[in-house]
Amino acid sequence: MSWTTDPRDALRVTADFDLATFDRASTPGFDGDKAEAEALMAQRGELMAELQERLFAEGREGGTRSLLVVAQGIDTAGKGGIARHVMGMVDPQGVQLRSFGVPTEEERAHHYLWRIEKALPTPGRIGVFDRSHYEDVLVVRVDGLAEEAVWRARYDEINEWERQLVEAGMTVVKVALMVSHDEQGRRLMERLDRPDKRWKFSPGDLRTRAKWDEYQEAYADVFRLTSTEHAPWYVIPADKKWYSRLAITEILTRTLAEMRPQWPVPDFDVADMRAQLATSMSDDALRLSLEDTRESVEEAIAQSVDVRQEAIELRGGERREERAKALKKAWEADLEATIAQKKRILKDRRG
């Protein structure tokens, strides 16, 4: 019960992709059921959280990398659920969630990428876009909000703009959640039926639904024209919510694992700082700290080794045992040196 194919391969848009025959109730690459998906998702969530923390730490120490997740999909496809259930597994400090609605007057006065650019994730962050610049070739096209020549020119412009982001250190992942017409009907009906869900419904949803075919055509062109090597589209079947959430979790975890974020190496002398800090601590506090050292550091080592092993596994790397062991040995040696230093400081005080 796990992935039989890397979902990035199973869901990535290729030249022969055909949205018209795309099965929105399918579960490509995964052979488990809902319960198995939820168990695997929780496990991946822990790994994703740790990788995200490393990326965040890297950004704090002058790193320039970030991850941008563009989420598109028609109403009820589950974009909100991705923000809540997938991104909810990582530290909110490291996530920049932005939604894009109808442009304000100020936004309309600028180039359509202006408001998008302002919302890009800062280094170390995961940016999540709930709708994006792709609305400028989707709703704008379907509702005729701009001349055809205007929106037609945007596909190339978007590709070029995304290429610049990638060159500047951003990893760009685009996911499109695709529900079937029947499933959207059921989900909209549920929003009308349930008093606690009516706030999610707007009469405009029916007008959008009435233009189903036009939207499908516009989405097909987005996939055909803007899925690039540097910023690929993954089309996610979204009739089964447990699958779409799991698939996006897996895509993001594998993407983060491939980025290989590392804990930054301090630019100060740790032993020297420890000695200085110790001079400000009482004997009792220092003794308690010494007692705790082994347990707290060993727990951190175990956790890091696990993460490293899982990440290497996801990257399909060989010799994971050896590489994880090398890290473990280095950190264990560091731990022994730490304990020895603390003991020495305490002894010198007594002496």
Least distance from ligand ADP to the Cβ atom of residue 145, Å: 6
Size of the site for ligand ADP (CB under 6 A): 12
Give exposure, 69-93, as e/b (b: 16+ Cβ within 10 Å).
bbbbbbbbbbbebbbebbbebbeee
Among 68, 140, 278, 314, binds ligand ADP (CB under 6 A): 140
Give the CA dihedral 240, 243, 248, 253, nearest 10 degrees. Answer: 160
In terms of CB distance, is 58 or 136 closer to ligand ADP? 136
Among 92, 101, 203, 351, binds ligand ADP (CB under 6 A): 101
Q: Are strands 126-130 and 170-178 parallel, antiparallel or unpaired?
A: unpaired
Neighbours of 53 (CB within 10 A): 18
Residues 151-190: x where in contact with ligand ADP by CB under 6 A, - otherwise, as a string:
----------------------------------------
Q: How far, in Å, are 70, 126, 275, 287, 298 from residue 291 at the CA level?
A: 47, 37, 17, 6, 13
In terms of CB distance, is 102 or 265 closer to ligand ADP? 102
Burial class (CB in 10 A: 0-12, 13-18, 19+), 246: buried
Of 264, 253, 255, residue with least CA distance to 58: 264
Tokens of 346: 């305490």
Part of the chain binding ligand ADP (CB under 6 A), chosen from 31-39, 101-109, 152-160, 216-224: 101-109
Part of the chain binding ligand ADP (CB under 6 A), chosen from 42-50, 98-106, 186-194, 307-315: 98-106
Among 102, 109, 149, 265, binds ligand ADP (CB under 6 A): 102
Among 135, 183, 250, 310, binds ligand ADP (CB under 6 A): 135
The answer to the question of residue 139 lying near ligand ADP (CB under 6 A) is yes
Part of the chain binding ligand ADP (CB under 6 A), chosen from 28-36, 96-104, 217-225, 325-333: 96-104
Part of the chain binding ligand ADP (CB under 6 A), chosen from 56-64, 95-103, 174-182, 331-339: 95-103
The answer to the question of residue 100 lying near ligand ADP (CB under 6 A) is yes
The answer to the question of residue 136 lying near ligand ADP (CB under 6 A) is yes
The answer to the question of residue 81 lying near ligand ADP (CB under 6 A) is no
Residue type at 207 in one-letter notation: R
Cα(74)–Cα(321) distance, integer angstroms: 44
